[in-house]
Amino acid sequence: MSKAVKILSAIGVLLVALVVAGIAILKSIDFNQYKDVIAEQAKAATGRELTIAGDLSLSLSLSPRVSVQGVTFANAPWGSDPVMLSVKRFAAEMSLIPLLSGEIEIKQVILEGVNVLAEKDKSGQANWDFGPPAPANQAPAASTSEADVVLPVINNVSLKDVNVTYKDAQAGLEYSLNLGTVDLKSGGLDAPLDLVILGAVNDQAFAIKGQLGSIGAIGGGEIIPVKLNIAALKMDVGLDGKIGVPNGNPMVDLRLKVDGNSLVETLKAVAALEPALTGLQLPVKGAFSLNTILKLDGPAKIALTDLQAAIGSLNIKGRVSADLGGARPNVDATLQMATLNLDDLLPKNDTGAASGRARIDDGRVFPADPLPLEGLKAADANVKLTIDKVIIDGMEIANLKVNLALENGRLNLDLVNAGVADGKINGSVVLDGSKNIARLKARIEASQIDYGKLLSERGLTDMASGKVDLMVDVSGNGGSVRQLMAGLNGRTRVVTENGRLESGALNIVSTDMLNMFDSKDDKTIRCAVIQFNITRGIANVHAIVFETGGISVVGTGSANLANETLNLRVDPRSKKANLATVAMVPVDIIGTFLEPDWRIDMAGAAGNVAASAARTAGAIATMGLSLLVEKVAKETVIKTDETDYCTPALAGKKVVPEKLAAAKQPAAQSSEPAPPAVTKKKKSADPLEAIGSGVASGLKNLFGD
């Protein structure tokens, strides 16, 4: 044996002896004697007391193991509890051999019986702040480059009974987190990570189970696979796809599924985490679901594609994307719904029907609340919404297409070929909120709407039949709806021709009116035209005409949109000398939009019939209505009005009944003064007034409430 070999052998024996001696020495050391030293160092660093009540031990082998029991760490002096942290047991085991190749492999970490209290006082000071901040001129500590970082491989992490409480006295918040079980398992640096987490937040249980990518990929910011199932807040959430932060840019490409049996129960669970939501009620209830692909491309671009969502009876599909990187978020969406039943969603009025109009405490219809103009400036949007069927107040709207464009506070809303009762509705609304005062421009057109079908859908059968056209073209400025209406300009126009009155419509006015329409032509609606021209909030009657073969109804007056008052007159006129002539009593519609009223103008009754009837009221009250015309006709000449009001009204001309009918009306046959106008009151024994009341009541139903 050479001398060199002998030397190397001696060195080897010496090294082994040193290792054996070192292990023997370490095993003979009682590490509990260092507990006070550890506590002193902790207090020097944090100013808080650290207590190790249990044993501190180190077990040496090829897999050394360290454990400690009964550790407590003191809270800040102002804290709500003297202890900030307590640990019943902590143990860790690592492998020595991988250290030879520069790897840190921790075989197991066990943590049991942990209680953590994190809190802030009313001034905002946190109990995890252990000292004054570093001086501003102090250089930051040198950072370690990524190449020098060695990530430990943790094969198994087991947490049991971990409780974290967070209190914020300044905000008045308190949350509690309990981790009953946390099991993380990995076969190595490049192996996937299996996880099971069971716990509760504010007593709301949750469970997370599934698999993530490897520890190495996670630590390196690579894109990793994700497959998780989460049960929380009374719903189930599934995530299946990829996530990562390549080159510092977050990336997400996940199939997201959400299912819940009850939206009400989920809201209650959410309210346990956010008390401000307690009592929140949504118009939709029942089960809910979401199935979509969630994509995140960098920190600013997010998208939901292949979207399918359902809440109760509502179902929606399509796509939504948002770019958050500009001066304002930009949202782009294409959505489709099968059925939207607003009768199920909107609050009900006194009759049980859906109502979108809320009663305002100041007795007004138009709200004075400022328009949310700043909200219009908060984002830009381009949304296309298609709904196969919309139901509102019993009416069906088919193939509703709405295009919404919002840019820098300017909202454009287009309605395209919506089908209503075999007709079509088109329109556009522009609300420019880019300035302090909003500017509104709206144009809505409806063509060939079957109003007989509409009435039937509302349960009003045997009323009327025909088709109607409608046009609304208005504009205005204002910071609220009330201001917009007060300064409104434009016009509204409703036109129908060649319709028909049915018995049900006549019953609304008076059951006796059935006998006044004694021929087929009497019930034919030759035309109905209602046109208001609006100037600075005053809607003046340009034409109110309703004409059949037997009667004409002509209206005049105005409606004040600023103070919401009515000043209208509806003047019915008979074309034949029959009982209808006696019933033709003008009615003034007055009051407010919220509470319209009416009154009968006996002085305006056709010819002198009203005057004669009033003079002989006692005699008439004892007769049957069938004898009324005969009795009155003996004392006066009954005047009729055969003026063609439809032709000028349909041509768009202003209809003023006195001017149109003056050439055809005979002079009054009696010089007796007409009785004054009478205001609505209890039912009278006077048949003429009773008929007038029936007419007025029916007109109020048609034009008022």
Give the pLDDT confidence of 164-196 residue by residue, as tens digits.
999 998 888 888 999 999 999 887 777 888 999
Given a cut of 60, whether residue 634 has pLDDT beyond it is: no
Exposure letters 579-609 (e unless 16+ CB within 10 A, then b):
bbbbbbbbbbbbbebeebebbbbbbbbbbbb
Residues 43, 117 share a domain: yes
Higher pLDDT, 279 or 522: 279
CA distances from 324 to 292, 321, 518 (A): 20, 10, 71
Name 130's bridge partners. Answer: none
- Least confidently predicted of 86-90, 152-156, 203-207, 338-342: 152-156
Same domain, 592 and 459: no
pLDDT for 384 equals 96
- Whether 284 is covered by a domain: the verdict is no
Q: Higher confidence at residue 318 or residue 500?
A: 318
413 and 516 share a domain? no
What confidence tier does 447 reach under pLDDT thresholds 50, 70, 90? Answer: very high
- DSSP letters, 458-494, are TT--SSEEEEEEEEEEEEEEESBHHHHHHT-EEEEEE
Q: What is the chain's mean pLDDT, rounded? A: 78
In a domain, 390, yes or no: yes
- Asked if residue 428 and residue 345 are part of one domain, the reply reads yes
621 pLDDT above the threshold of 70? no
138 or 231, higher pLDDT? 231
pTM for this predicted structure = 0.70
Better-predicted residue by pLDDT, 8 or 54: 54
Do residue 448 and residue 578 come from a single domain?
A: no
96 and 215, same structural domain?
Answer: yes
Report how far apart the first and last C-alpha atoms of the chain are (Å, whole number).
121
* pLDDT for res 490: 96
Residues 578, 690 within the same domain: yes
Q: What pLDDT, on the 0 to 100 scale, is given for residue 439?
A: 94
Residues 532 and 448 placed together within one structural domain of the fold: no
pLDDT for residue 11: 52
Helix (H, G, I), strand (E, B) or coil at 186: strand
pLDDT of residue 240: 96
Residue type, 172: G
Domain assignment present for residue 285? The answer is no
Res 566 pLDDT > 90: yes
Q: Given 220, 237, 268, which residue is the final one in a domain?
A: 220
- pLDDT above 60: residue 326: yes
Examine the pLDDT at 666 and tell me if it is beyond 90.
no
Whether pLDDT at 615 is above 60: no
Same domain, 556 and 642: yes
Q: How many CB atoms lie within 10 A of CB 344?
A: 14
Per-residue pLDDT, 468: 93
414 plus 532 within the same structural domain: no
Co-location of 424 and 532 in the same domain: no
Calculate mean pLDDT across residues 295-300.
Answer: 88
Instruction: Check residue 194 and give its pLDDT.
Output: 92
In a domain, 84, yes or no: yes
More reliable by pLDDT, 318 or 39: 318
Domain C-terminal end among 198, 220, 242: 220
> Is 516's pLDDT higher than 80?
no
Look at residue 229 and tell me if it is in a domain: no
For residue 16, is pLDDT > 50? no
97 or 599: whose pLDDT is higher? 599
- Which position has the higher pLDDT, 133 or 95? 95
Question: Residue 15 above 70 pLDDT?
Answer: no
Averaged pLDDT, 569-593: 76
Residue pair 447/424 in contact by the 8 Å Cβ criterion: yes
Find the domain containing 414 and state its range.
330-355+365-487
Look up residue 290 and give its DSSP letter: E
Domain count, the chain: 3
Which residue intervals of 537-600 are DSSP H helices? 579-583
Say which range, 245-249, 334-338, 507-511, has the weakest mean pLDDT: 507-511
The answer, yes or no, to whether residue 682 has pLDDT greater than 80, is no
Is residue 582 very low, low, confident or very high in pLDDT (cuts 50, 70, 90)?
Answer: low
In this predicted structure, the answer to whether residue 410 has a pLDDT above a threshold of 80 is: yes
Q: Is the pLDDT of residue 68 over 50?
A: yes
pLDDT band at 505 (very low <50, low <70, confident <90, very high): low
- Over 50: is that where the pLDDT of 446 sits? yes
Q: Which of 220, 250, 270 is the last residue of a domain?
A: 220
Average pLDDT, integer, range 326-334:
92
**Residue 659 included in any domain:** yes
Is position 422 within any domain?
yes
Pairwise pLDDT comparison (2 vs 329), residue with the higher score: 329
Judgement on whether residues 465 and 598 belong to the same structural domain of the protein: no
pLDDT for the residue 523:
77
pLDDT at 285: 83
Residue 62 lies in a domain: yes
Angle at 544 between CA 538 and CA 547, to 5 degrees: 175
- The position carrying tokens 């002989």 is 616
Is pLDDT of 206 > 90?
A: yes
The pLDDT of residue 302 is 95
